[in-house]
Chains A and B, each alone.
Chain A
Amino acid sequence: MMSNLSDERVSQTSIATRMLRRPELGALIGAFVIFSLFWGFDTTGNFAALGGTAGWTDIAAPIGIIAVFVSLLMIGGEFDLSTGVMVGTSGLLAGMLVTEYGLNMWVAIPIVLLFAAAVGFINGMIVVRTGLPSFIVTLATFFVLRGANLAVTKSLTGTVRVSGIEEAEGFDSAHAIFASRLMVGTSSFQISILWWIAITILATWLLSRTQFGNWIFASGGDKNAARNAGVPVDRTKVTLFIMTSLASAFVGIMFVLRLQGMQAGQGVGMEFFYIIAAAVGGTLLMGGAGSAIGASIGAAIMGIADIGIPYALWDQDWRWTFIGVILLAAVLVNTFIGNRAKGAKR
């Protein structure tokens, strides 16, 4: 019988410290602090009520839906900078299919999703086959799509926006499912919030309760060790890229239905907010650890700030400063935790 050889230098972690180490708990505390801050400065009296909640969840939902999958991809060790512009591309594509080609909305939607999946597949394949940093590969995709959004829209419609979607067949039913409103008391909530919650639950389950989720952690933590253990790293990464593109397309479809059209520039610039939401929620920029639910909390924080700032009658330019500060704080905390876990002992 072997004697107990546990190292007396390994300290036993207290329950409180262990809980604080869970990335999403840190983010949740941060969200409460920020919520309290804006509650204190609220001039309308509605911030902490249904009305205000309807407002910030409306902003947070489309960010959260994409940020959740962006965080999965980041945990898997990669970045996708083409997410923002893909929202525009999908909305424009759906709009053009129904207005220029007279397709039913319900035929256009699967076509758009298929297109997005193909773009995600290409992103993934280039990254795993060439070994180039995903930052660069998806940046290239970003530019390709950005140009295409303008050029194709202009050549097909003569303008740089798609409008008149509401005339299309299938618009009403699609709108009801993806872009309608639900009354709660006297406040109207967007249905996108329900989608956001469902998708967050799905992604969380996928990450922590499935074999694929284990592979995501491994591929991001150390792809060589993962390969040696038999994990199909390439296949995992390509699948993750497909997921981020699909999530972006989903939001694009939601938007084109709500806005009854779309401008060619929609979505550009949002790609960094998804990454920030994921980072604020506890996903490490270096990969290997993170949380899908944390990304949703990060998105919630952004929504709270976007509504809290005007409700406090502050100049909205402070929004940028705010985002910068929370990003820095979140990354510092994450790095601190990551370092303690990784290399403290040899």
Chain B
Amino acid sequence: MSFKKLAVLAGVAALTLSGCAAAADDTASEATSSTEETTAAATTEELKDIKICVYTHGDGGTFWSVAQMGAEDAGKDLGITVDYQGSINDSAKQASTIDAGIAAGCNGIAASAPDAGAIEQAMLAVSAAGIPTVTMNSGSDVFKDLGAFTHVGQDEIVAGREAGYKFNDAGMTNILCPIQEAANSGLTDRCAGARETSTGTVSDFNLDGGLADLTAASAKIKAALEADPTIDAVFALNADIAAKAVLPAVQDLGRDIMIGTVDMSEDALNAIAAGDIAFAIDQQQYAQGYMSVVLLYLNVTNAHSLGGGLPIYTGPGFVDASNVAQVQALVAAGSR
């Protein structure tokens, strides 16, 4: 028998045996735990059977890994199973994942909705199957249309408004707003919110793809700042953009420009501590992940539908020189 054929047969045999072993393992543990079953409270096995699924459009970067950690920590704290999937900005993939959640045995599904129309059919199918849903991170104004009972996140317009106030307090008159992900309406909303409350002008600036090449992004921002010497503030919409693209550009030019950003990273917080960046808006995405799971857990186990038909806000929280020290330790640990 040729080596190739032998290898194939061996592979199939090994995998079948391991599959049987895994299945046998499950039935064995179920048998032992059922004998220890208490009458009223849910046993560890029954809890583990509760599966909450968090299906986002996230890309696994510094922002989304914190949200994922939040969701998974909630799972550990409650003793239930959590399945997190990020579709890396692919709406078709996210829709398919949500659709597949029904057969995957999800008892509750949380989904981010940057493009509500894309996942509408999937979300409605999930609701039709009797599975409760919430939206998180994006979709605060569409969650009802998607059949969700609430939304957990930060309203981007509200965040932008608050940032606008901060810039007013410092007397800023011409604010540049670089948008690093052209397809993300949440980002445009932040700039729009700032425009509403700012007493000066807020100009959107196209920095699409900025996160993929921070050096190039920095050069573009420098060029924009040079082109308009009256710009006195930059409202960055991402911590990496702020710390690694905007800050170097501003330092290069040597002008006195106020930098505010959305979301946090170790570098951005260090810059705040050093006085180079004025503030970071914290949408507390750890809590977005954590609370999505808790809200669905409470719905599944005790029929609670929290929120009162309105979104539940996790932000904007502000991190500036006054509270940066506390937060820094947590960001370094990956949980903020």
Contacts and interface: CB of A to CB of B under 8 A. Distances in A.
- Does a CB–CB distance below 8 Å link A and B in the complex? yes
Interface string B10-47: 01100110111011000000000000000000000000
A62 B90 CA distance: 13
Nearest to A52: B103
Contacts of B301: none
Interface stretch (B79-87, B219-227, B320-328): B79-87
B89 A265 contact: yes
Interface of A: 16-17, 20, 29, 32-33, 36-37, 39-41, 43-46, 49-52, 54-55, 58-59, 62, 150, 154, 159-161, 163-166, 181, 187-188, 255, 258-266, 307, 310-311, 313, 316-317, 333
B15 A33 contact: yes
Interface residues of B, number: 45
Interface of B: 2, 4-5, 8, 11-12, 15-16, 18-20, 22-23, 60, 81, 83-86, 89-93, 95-97, 99-100, 102-105, 115, 117-121, 125, 182-183, 185, 188, 208
Contact of B100 (A33, A37, A49, A58): A58
A259 B117 contact: yes
Contacts of A264: 182-183
Contacts of A54: 99-100, 103
A310 B84 CA distance: 8
28 contacts: A16-B5, A33-B15, A36-B15, A40-B18, A41-B19, A44-B103, A51-B102, A54-B99, A58-B96, A59-B93, A59-B100, A62-B92, A150-B182, A159-B185, A160-B182, A181-B125, A187-B103, A259-B91, A259-B115, A259-B117, A260-B117, A260-B118, A260-B121, A261-B117, A266-B91, A307-B100, A316-B85, A317-B60
Nearest to A303: B96
A166 B4 CA distance: 53
A15 to B, nearest CB: 13
Nearest to B18: A40
A143 to B, nearest CB: 12
Contact of B115 (A52, A55, A263): A263
A263 B84 CA distance: 23
Contacts of B20: 40
B121 A163 contact: no
B66 to A, nearest CB: 16
A265 B85 contact: no
A49 B102 CA distance: 13
A150 B182 CA distance: 8
B81 A313 contact: yes
B117 A164 contact: yes
Given A39-B19, A51-B103, A261-B117, 16 more contacts: A33-B8, A33-B12, A36-B12, A40-B16, A46-B105, A49-B103, A54-B103, A55-B99, A159-B188, A188-B99, A188-B125, A255-B92, A262-B118, A265-B183, A310-B85, A313-B83
A45 B100 contact: no
A4 B85 CA distance: 65
A17 B1 CA distance: 10
B48 to A, nearest CB: 10
Contact of B83 (A45, A165, A310): A310
Contacts of A317: 60
Contacts of A16: 5
A263 B15 contact: no
Contacts of A159: 185, 188
A259 B208 contact: no
A340 to B, nearest CB: 11
Contact of B22 (A33, A40, A50, A261): A40
Contact of A263 (B8, B103, B183): B183
B104 to A, nearest CB: 5
A187 B105 CA distance: 13
**5 closest A-B pairs by CB:** A40-B19, A51-B103, A55-B100, A260-B117, A259-B118
B92 A55 contact: no
A260 B19 contact: no
A258 B99 CA distance: 12
Contacts of B60: 317
Given A46-B104, A161-B115, A37 B19 contact: yes
A266 B114 CA distance: 13
B117 A58 contact: no
A132 B16 CA distance: 48
A310 B92 contact: no
A44 B5 CA distance: 32
A29 B9 CA distance: 10
A160 B2 CA distance: 56
Given A55-B100, A159-B185, A311-B104, A37 B117 contact: no
A37 to B, nearest CB: 5
A58 B99 contact: yes
Nearest to A163: B117
A151 to B, nearest CB: 10
A330 B16 CA distance: 21
A260 B92 contact: no
Contact of B15 (A37, A255, A310): A37
A263 B22 contact: no
